[in-house]
Amino acid sequence: MSPTAQSTASARRVVFPFTAIVGQEEMKLALLLNVIDPKIGGVMIMGDRGTGKSTTIRALADLLPEISVVANDPFSSDPSDPDLMSDEVRQLLEQGAEIPVAHKKVQMVDLPLGATEDRVCGTIDIEKALSEGVKAFEPGLLAKANRGILYVDEVNLLDDHLVDVLLDSAASGWNTVEREGISIRHPARFVLVGSGNPEEGELRPQLLDRFGMHAEIHTVKEPALRVQIVEQRADFDQNPLVFLEKYKPQQEALQQQIVNAQKLLPEVKIDYELRVKISEVCSELDVDGLRGDIVSNRAAKALTAYEGRTEVTVDDIHRVITLCLRHRLRKDPLESIDSGYKVAKVFSRVFGVELPESDVAQKNGTGQKLGARS
């Protein structure tokens, strides 16, 4: 590695490369699809402790290309998209003022469990607003997360009211703070990623339904894979810069694939007949509301764009539909069959395809369903 490359790499925090992460295909696929289309609505990752949830999410944020922002803007406003601009920037644009542009890495914001609503949403200095007549706003974590990733570890332990606030902002793309008759709003469009361990309690069904996708991850059982993961981690810890250099070509290739997919996404089409069948699956599974239908369509399109195609196939839908629907089924406490298997079974009947072995392995909750092609 050249001295220049070394100094550049050491100038920022060293993060384990996304392409070096072994296994957990379901989680990786769900995260990538949400980055390609943030309107999917985020990912809830439930699984065992020590399975690399935080490592994977940090790796994804580090992988993403730099974005154009308005210089010195606390909300990382997009200089060209009015939907991702603060009201102040939009006013400047309407007045014909020149907007200074800068580039920065996509932010990954960690939400601590003990965070207050003021810390999350931001605060208004009422005294300053009344005495000086200016809207003195101290931005919170939602402002910092705009156009980035907001990660909530152990989201099932977070106060329900705060989860509501996060989900409302993620759905609307805006955060509004009101105090004593003074109202301030700013863009807050981010990929919401929550993780947790089912042993520590489940989220309320109403809140769970608001997450676009739900990935289940399990501890890797195969001894050879476990050894590979341990050795990779040891290599990375021993010499992170050499390890990063080794995975640089894969990282750059995946980064380009994401950029290409984001550009291609508006051109992706899904046949009317396939859309009807997706809705038929949702109807047969007795999924409440239409969120499941919408997310399944979006996720299938994102996967198609990710693979550089413009026509959604039955296989694309098969690979995402469990991720989109398994958390929307009404839970029967006496039910022993895994909800992912239920989704796969109804999908195979409606679409007239045979159930792959990976889906059958889930029947009693024993198998690890992969998002990758069966």
Q: Tell me the pLDDT tens digit for each residue of 23-35.
A: 888 899 999 999 9
Residue 53: give the domain boundaries: 20-65+106-220
Q: Tell me the pLDDT tens digit for each residue of 333-351.
A: 445 456 788 899 999 999 9
Pull the structure tokens for residue 276.
């009807």
Whether the pLDDT of residue 208 is over 60: the answer is yes
Q: Based on the domain organization, do 167 and 28 belong to the same domain? A: yes
Neighbouring CB atoms inside 10 A of 109's CB total 19
Highest mean pLDDT among 12-21, 228-237, 359-368: 228-237
Q: Identify the pLDDT of residue 36.
A: 93
Q: What is the pTM of this model?
A: 0.84
Q: Identify the pLDDT of residue 373.
A: 38
pLDDT (mean) for 82-111: 83
Any domain includes 98: no
d(CA 296, CA 285): 14
Q: Tell me the pLDDT tens digit for each residue of 42-64.
A: 999 988 777 778 888 889 988 88
Any domain includes 281: yes
Q: Based on the domain organization, do 216 and 301 belong to the same domain? A: no
d(CA 18, CA 56): 6
Q: Identify the pLDDT of residue 334.
A: 46
Pull the structure tokens for residue 148.
């980035």
Asked if residues 136 and 95 have their Cβ atoms less than 8 Å apart, the reply is: no
DSSP codes joined into one string, 148-190: SEEEEETGGGS-HHHHHHHHHHHHHSEEEEEETTEEEEEE---
d(CA 289, CA 215): 21
Q: Tell me the pLDDT tens digit for each residue of 119-163.
A: 888 888 776 656 665 567 888 899 889 888 999 888 878 887 888
Rounded percentage of the chain residues whose pLDDT exceeds 70: 87
Catalytic positions are 291
Q: Based on the domain organization, do 181 and 323 belong to the same domain? A: no
d(CA 289, CA 278): 14
Q: Is 260 exposed, middle or buried (0-12, 13-18, 19+ CB in 10 A)?
A: middle
Q: Based on the domain organization, do 53 and 178 belong to the same domain? A: yes
Q: Tell me the pLDDT tens digit for each residue of 358-369.
A: 555 545 444 443
Residue, of 179 and 374, whose pLDDT is higher: 179
Q: 111 in the Ramachandran plot: left (φ > 0), alpha (ψ -120 to 50) or beta?
A: beta
d(CA 86, CA 80): 12
Any domain includes 241: no
pLDDT tier at 186, thresholds 50, 70, 90: confident
Q: CATH no. for residue 122?
A: 3.40.50.300
Asked if residues 363 and 345 have their Cβ atoms less than 8 Å apart, the reply is: no
Q: Based on the domain organization, do 150 and 212 belong to the same domain? A: yes
What is the largest distance, in Å, between two alpha-carbon atoms of the chain? 70
Share the mean pLDDT of the chain: 82
Q: CATH no. for residue 351?
A: 1.10.8.80
